[in-house]
Structure 1
Amino acid sequence: MKIERIEAIPYEIPYVKPLKFASGEVTTADHVLLRIHTDTGIIGQADIPPRPYTYGETQASIVAVINSIFAPALIGMDPFRRHAVQQVLRRTVHNNTAKGGIDIALWDIIGQATGNSVWSLLGGYAPSMRVSHMLGFKEPEVLLEEAQRFGSEYGVTTFKLKVGRRPIALDIEACRVLREGLGDDVELYLDANRGWTANEALEVLRRTEGLGLSFLEEPCDAREAMGRRRLVEKSSIPIVGDESVPTSGDVSRELLSGGCNAICIKTARSGFTEAQEILGLSTGMGVDVYMGNQIDTQIGTIATIVFGAAHEATSRRAGELSNFLDMADDLLADPLVIRDGRIDVPEGPGVGARIDDDKLAFYRLDGAPKA
């Protein structure tokens, strides 16, 4: 089997409401659907989310690097030779989500070719994943209402609170209102998206002591190395690396330097192959991991579920799997369902994301992709 052709298809689907976080916001899912065609007729697919404020990638840059650099180098290669493909991709620096999408699509091909689900090929540990829902920058009482609705409607009992974009006092008040309103049985953790300094993060931890927070994710920029190390040493809860750890090498740097002591894994930027390296490194060093969200579509969410549910360590905690509910539509032919706080692993060979071609035709961009 050989790779015959690679398509990078830009498309746009609006969000029902803007999604805001300390490092930016999105109003439209201006993603790229990747399709890798083989000479046997099997097509591997993946969804690629551009995040210019995090990794420097735009929709236009993803399409360009795939069409001009990656596709010419990969056409003619055997898709089963994943590590040989990885070496080709690593010749080009950065472009994390473009590389991640290619790897996921190759796994999709391998699963289809062998008649196996990628979930089972990766390990097949659990048939579903527990869901964590992200709460954004709203008044504390509105956040509480949203969390209570997700609890009653979907059975969700784990929530990530986005912080770091407004005065610290408001973030602290939101933590207090959520804990008092949801009770002690609901898990809460914070994500500052590099929005604070290390000293500000220490102040927040001091003032939220006793609220039972599980994690603090990416509180400050990784370049604040001494501050991050001091924060990890003084914090009573794990400090999670996210934007600072897209590759296994980055994970090694942050863990060994003391910049974090827990890891958020995102398949959109790591694919499955690099995510396995990150997971093995993390579990070998005895640090907590959980599956994060790159503001993924349902297609991207399936990839997160497939990887997260395949491994014991990533199945222990809820994965961030609900952002697609904020989209006005999706390309997936068989929509995901959150039931009793969980999403099932899709059945069938490959990754399991079946595209509605009519929707793709409607949302795809015929002209030049957005810069």
Structure 2
Amino acid sequence: MTAPATSTTPERHLAHADDLVVTRVEAVPFAIPYTKPLRFASGEVRTAEHVLVRVHTAAGVVGQAEAPPRPFTYGETQSSIVAVVDQLFGPALVGTSVLDREVHRTRLHRTIGNPTAKAALDMAAWDAVGQFLGQPVHRLLGGYAESVPVSHMLGFDEPQVMVEEAARMRDLHGISTFKVKVGRHPYRLDVAVVRALREAFGEEIELYVDGNRGWTASESARAMAEMADLGLTLAEELNPADDVLGRRWLVERCPVPFVADESAHPAGGGHPGDPRRLGDRGLDQDRAHRVLRVAAGAAPGRGAGRRGGRRQPDRRPDRHAGLRHLRRRARLHLGPRGRAVQLPRHERRPAGRAAHHHQRPDGRPHRPRAGPARRRRQAGPLPAGRVSVRPRPSSPISEGARR
């Protein structure tokens, strides 16, 4: 399929604002088989099953963009992208102008997720605007670069095979930048590959690594330390995205710039700092709920025990070691941008006490009902001749006492 021939003369298309109106949006699925399977830490791809998104305007100009599904990261597939564009996003854009950037964003973000489909529609609208003005989109965005290098991805394989593939791409296409897929176990398999590439080509090529979240933070740190002498440009997604504290620890120690890539996305719209959206920012839902309970003043662990009528913190080890510091900060509150800030002393409440137990509806402080131990202490010493425990006649204790 080919787009209808259009003119890029600005005078022709900008004569009427109605020419910028979106009349139709289509999603065209296509498949391109790879010459060899691309294997990486989060899966394997044998065919590029992508979607071509087209935004048609009243003047006949058609903006186009490609939507590559990322099922291992976003949960989108080729079929889901086609469905959401045809049934939800396309009808939402029809009748608007390709210049209505905020209108598009607002309408698309009514639906949570689907970041690849949303990005393709945004790029297609930019492409249409560039055609109207007769300018490339990077000029419209204000970007500048004398040149942009093209990189080639090297999937999992033996070191010699990957060296031969890099040499072939350099000789055929002049490519001198390579993204090396890492994330295998043991990690030294990938360290050996990167070292073989550097030894084979020297400083003639640029190398960077992409882990696809295959290593832990500690494995990533050890691997990067062993590759510190190989002149890597950057490292991308080495450890899992939901290990927020582990990734922070890793970034502080990484000898090269760290790129989050797909794992850095506020999916579903809304303010990125909204604490209710911690799950979208890298925490899984269970851990996000626990972080919010700590921020609200609830007990910070899996539970708490009672001893002497008082609530004691849970001393059992947490399987999420990165949350230990939250135990020591149970009186912190998440600020408007998700940052932890110290509450004033008069606004704090003891950890473990629910919000509705802290204050009566009329504003007076609520005092919890005293338990048996507290009632005995308040009553004072017992009169002579009385016992503090009176077992029931039918209980095993009373039966033993009779005998």
Query: What's the TM-score, normalizing by structure 1?
Result: 0.64
Determine whether 1:60 maps to 2:79. Answer: yes
Alpha-carbon distance, 1:89 to partner: 1.0
Select which of 132, 145, 156 maps to 2:164: 145
Q: Aligned pair in 2 of structure 1 residues 99, 169: CA closer, same or farther (>3 Å)?
A: same
List aligned pairs for 1:98-109, cutoff 5 A: 98-109=117-128
Asked if 1:228 corresponds to 2:253, the answer is no
Cα distance change on mapping 1:250 and 1:87 into 2, 3 Å? closer
Contact 1:21–1:137, Cα closer than 8 Å, also in 2: yes
| Cα shift at 1:116 | 2.2
Task: Judge conservation of contact 1:111–1:121 (CA < 8 Å) in 2.
Answer: yes
- Residue 35 in structure 1 maps to residue 54 in structure 2: yes
Where does residue 264 of structure 2 map in the other structure? 245
Number of aligned pairs? 255
> Once superposed, what is the RMSD of the aligned Cα atoms?
2.4
Distance 2:105 2:197 in 1: 43
CA distance in 2, matches of 1:137, 1:166: 12
Change (3 A) 1:104 1:229: same
2:37 is matched by which residue type in structure 1?
A: P
Q: CA 1:127–1:232 in structure 2 vs 1: closer, same or farther (change >3 Å)?
A: closer
Does residue 180 in structure 1 map to residue 219 in structure 2? no
Partner-residue secondary structure (3-state), 1:213: coil
Measure how far apart 1:19 and its partner are: 1.4
- Structure 1 residue 251: Cα displacement: 12
In the TM superposition, 1:180-199 aligns within 5 A as 180-199=199-218
Q: Which residue of 1 aligns with 2:189?
A: 170
Go from structure 1 to structure 2 and tell me whether the alpha carbon gap of 1:209 and 1:109 turns closer, same or farther (over 3 Å shift).
closer
| SS of 1:171 mapped into structure 2 | helix
Structure 1, unmatched stretches of 5+, are 258-371
Deviations 1:275-306 (A, max 9, x none): xxxxxxxxxxxxxxxxxxxxxxxxxxxxxxxx
C-alpha distance in structure 1 between counterparts of 2:270 and 2:164, whole Å: 38
Report how far residue 252 of structure 1 moved: 7.3
Contact persistence 1:245–1:251 (CA under 8 A): no
- Partners of 1:213 and 1:250 in 2: CA distance: 36
Mean Cα displacement is larger for which, 124-133 or 71-80? 124-133
d(CA) in 2 for partners of 1:72, 1:21: 37
CA distance in 1, matches of 2:32, 2:172: 25
Shift of residue 40 of structure 1? 1.9
Q: Give, as a single letter, the amino acid of the residue that structure 1 aligns with 2:229.
A: G
Residue 67 (structure 2) aligned to one of 48, 51, 57: 48
| Post-superposition offset of 1:96 | 0.7
- Using the TM superposition, give the Cα deviation of residue 97 of structure 1 relative to its aligned residue in structure 2, in angstroms: 0.9
Distance 1:103 1:214 in 2: 29
Alpha-carbon distance in structure 1 between the residues aligned to 2:220 and 2:242 = 15
2:224 paired residue number: 205
Q: Answer yes or no: is the 8 Å Cα contact 1:42–1:113 preserved in 2.
A: yes
Q: Letter of the 2:210 partner, please give it.
A: D
Alpha-carbon distance, 1:163 to partner:
0.6
Residue by residue, what CA displacement relative to the aligned partner does 1:129-186 show, whole Å, maximum 9, x if unpaired?
A: 2122211111101111222233333332222110113431211111221111111343
**Residues of 1 paired with 2:122 and 2:248: CA distance?**
33
Check the 8 A contact 1:139/1:174 in 2, yes or no: yes
More contact order relative to length (CA 8 Å, sep ≥ 6): 1
1:215 aligns with 2:234: yes
Please list every run of 5 or more consecutive structure 2 residues that lacks an aligned counterpart in the other structure. Answer: 1-17, 279-403
Letter paired with 2:36: K
| AA matched with 1:132 | S
- Sort the Cα spacing of 1:13 and 1:82 in 2 relative to 1 into closer, same or farther, 3 A: same
For the 8 Å contact 1:134–1:162, the answer to whether it is kept is yes
CA–CA distance in 1 between the matches of 2:271 and 2:125?
24
- Shift in CA distance, 251/185, structure 1 to aligned 2, threshold 3 Å: farther
Q: Is 2:123 the partner of 1:81? A: no
- 1:165 and 1:247 map into 2 onto residues whose CA distance is 28
- Local SS of the residue matching 2:104: helix
Q: Distance in 2 between matches of 1:89 and 1:61?
A: 15
Give the aligned partner of residue 94 of structure 1: 113
How far has the Cα of 1:50 moved from its partner? 1.2
How far does the alpha carbon of each residue in 1:92-138 deviate from its partner, in whole angstroms, 9 at most, with x for none?
11101100111111111111222222232222523642122211111
Taking a change above 3 Å as real, the CA distance of residues 238 and 251 of structure 1, as seen in their structure-2 partners, is farther
Q: Distance in 2 between matches of 1:178 and 1:57?
A: 34
Secondary structure at the aligned position of 2:207 is classed as strand
**1:18 aligned residue (33, 37, 40):** 37
Classify the secondary structure of the residue corresponding to 1:183.
Answer: helix
**TM-score of the aligned structures, taking structure 2 as reference length:** 0.59
User: Structure 1 142/206 Cα, relative in aligned 2: closer, same or farther at 3 Å?
Assistant: same
Q: Does the 8 Å contact 1:108/1:118 carry over to 2?
A: yes
Does residue 1:4 correspond to 2:29, yes or no?
no
Alignment of 1:232-311 (within 5 A): 232-247=251-266
SS at match of 1:129: coil
* Partner SS, residue 203 of structure 2: coil
> How far apart are 1:60 and its partner, in Å?
1.2
The one-letter amino acid paired with 2:250 is L
Within the candidate set 138, 141, 153, 1:119 is matched to: 138
Alignment of 1:342-353 (within 5 A): none
CA distance in 2, matches of 1:251, 1:175: 39
- 1:353 counterpart residue number: none
